């Protein structure tokens, strides 16, 4: 049994991680300022003796009383709508928040786990993207607040590893989806499913030929734990290498939900990547991990969640 601090633990990914850690016998201290997370995601854990929730912004000083074995830093708004809505907060949690949580890990002699992103690759000129690719990021574009915050967070994490000998793990996440996503978070999967369930037009950008690789949340969290328990200290892609165009995703959502929605098109946003697909050779060889949930099955599970959510509103 380990005592693990999870920042952003009331968010989409963070709440699933809290569930998985508790299920395997760990104690969890969840920190979240609820900027994009929600207590609804973790309310089923309230009252457990092995779970503690603290409402706190990790961009300010972070301290957790008692022993800590691992700090898992997931806190950060990660949806496109947030890049314009709260850009400064995103930069602060990626910079100051990472610094503060690294400081906590160093003070406690704990392992540090950074949740990074495929966005560090930007609009990639190498396909698929291996961890050795340095990326093609516009630092001053609207997406740069998230991309560069995560790139800086990786740099700081590796600096603590080299300079202070801190034991670190860095995961690069690729388009994860599943229950507990915000229905209005601006990501393709949630946007498409909610529109389909309401019978509203599904909006794609450009001609929909841009590609993404979608990872179901259960697979992603299983990859997190495999990386956490390994001795791999360098960035590792955890994503699904099955690649779909955005138009294919929209058509699949319509089919799975039985919707009558039509597909409409809007101009591409600035710096929207045209391709995104992980090379997961490293995860397969060093962690023994690969995804098992097919996108169609994951879409069906996610649609079931959103259907219930919309019915309860």
152 & 185 share domain = no
pLDDT on residue 290:
98
Give tens-digit pLDDT for 108-117: 999 999 999 9
Query: Same structural domain for residues 111 and 191?
Result: no
**Distance between CA 172 and CA 234 in Å, rounded?**
10
**Do 10 and 153 belong together in one domain?**
yes
Residue 127 falls within a domain, yes or no?
yes
- Residue 163 domain-assigned (yes or no): yes
Is pLDDT at 94 greater than 90 in this prediction?
yes
The mean pLDDT value for 33-42 works out to 97
My answer on whether 41 and 149 are in the same domain is: yes
Confirm whether 282 is domain-assigned. no
Looking at the domain assignment, is residue 136 inside a domain? yes
Other Cβ atoms within 10 Å of 129 Cβ, number: 25
In a domain, 288, yes or no: no
228: pLDDT strictly greater than 80: yes
Do 208 and 99 share a structural domain?
A: no
Q: What is the pLDDT of residue 95?
A: 98
SS3 state of residue 281: helix
Instruction: Compute the distance between CA of residue 303 and CA of residue 125 in angstroms, rounded to an integer.
Output: 33
Share of residues in the chain with pLDDT > 90 (%): 96
pLDDT tier at 312, thresholds 50, 70, 90: confident
- 208 and 127 share a domain? no
pLDDT over 70 percentage in the chain: 100
Note whether 151 and 134 are same-domain residues. Answer: yes
Residue-number span of the structural domain to which 101 is assigned: 3-176+215-238
Residue 192 shares a structural domain with residue 266: yes
Phi, psi dihedrals of residue 292, rounded to the nearest 5°: -125, -15
Do 72 and 154 lie in one domain? The reply is: yes
Looking up tokens 């890990």 gives 105
pTM above 0.95, yes or no: yes
Give residue-wise pLDDT tens across range 161-206: 999 999 999 999 999 999 999 998 889 999 999 999 999 999 999 9
261 pLDDT tier (thresholds 50, 70, 90): very high
Q: Give pLDDT, residue 124.
A: 96
pLDDT at 270: 87
Residue 128 confidence (pLDDT): 97
Looking at the fold, whether 85 and 195 belong to one and the same domain comes out as no
Q: Is 133 a catalytic residue?
A: no
Does residue 268 register a pLDDT over 90? no
User: CATH number for the domain including 254?
Assistant: 3.90.25.10
Average pLDDT over residues 215-241: 98
Asked if residue 141 and residue 39 are part of one domain, the reply reads yes
pLDDT classification of 51: cutoffs 50, 70, 90:
very high
Q: Is the model's pLDDT at 19 over the cut of 80? A: yes
Domain count, the chain: 2
Based on the fold, state whether residues 190 and 206 are members of the same structural domain. yes
Q: Average pLDDT, stretch 60-89?
A: 96
> Domain with 70 in it: what CATH number?
3.40.50.720
Angstrom CA distances, 84 to 37, 76, 79, stand at 18, 14, 10
Q: What is the mean pLDDT of residues 207-224?
A: 97
List all residues 6 or more positions away from 311 whose beta carbon is below 8 Å from its beta carbon.
Answer: none
- Active site residue: 121, 146, 177, 244, which one? 146
| Helices 295-312 & 246-257 angle (0-180, nearest 10) | 60
């Amino acid at each position: 049994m380990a005592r693990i601090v999870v920042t952003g633990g009331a968010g989409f990914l963070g709440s699933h991680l809290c569930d998985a850690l508790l299920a395997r016998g760990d104690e969890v201290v969840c920190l979240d300022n609820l900027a994009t997370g929600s207590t609804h995601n973790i309310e089923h854990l309230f009252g457990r003796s092995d779970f503690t929730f603290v409402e706190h912004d990790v961009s300010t000083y972070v301290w957790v009383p008692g022993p800590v074995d691992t700090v898992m830093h997931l806190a950060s708004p990660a949806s496109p709508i947030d890049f314009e809505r709260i850009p400064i907060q995103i930069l602060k949690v990626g910079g100051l928040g990472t610094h503060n949580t690294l400081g906590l890990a160093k003070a406690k002699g704990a392992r540090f786990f950074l949740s990074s992103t495929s966005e560090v690759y930007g609009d990639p000129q190498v396909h698929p993207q291996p961890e050795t690719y340095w990326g093609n990021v516009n630092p001053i574009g609207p997406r740069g607040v998230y991309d560069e915050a995560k790139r800086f967070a990786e740099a700081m994490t590796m600096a603590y590893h080299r300079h202070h000998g801190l034991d670190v793990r860095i995961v690069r996440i690729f388009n994860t989806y599943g229950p507990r996503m915000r229905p209005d978070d601006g990501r393709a999967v949630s946007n498409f499913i909610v529109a389909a369930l309401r019978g509203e037009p599904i909006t794609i950008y450009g001609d929909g030929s841009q590609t993404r690789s979608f990872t179901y949340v259960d697979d992603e969290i299983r990859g997190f734990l495999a990386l956490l328990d390994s001795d791999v200290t360098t960035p590792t892609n955890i994503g699904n290498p099955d690649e779909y165009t955005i138009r294919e995703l929209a058509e699949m959502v319509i089919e799975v939900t039985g919707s009558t929605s039509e597909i409409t098109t809007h101009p591409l946003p600035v710096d929207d990547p045209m391709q995104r697909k992980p090379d997961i050779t490293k995860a397969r060889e060093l962690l023994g991990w690969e995804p098992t949930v097919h996108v169609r099955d994951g879409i069906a599970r996610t649609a079931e969640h959103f259907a219930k959510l919309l019915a309860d509103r």
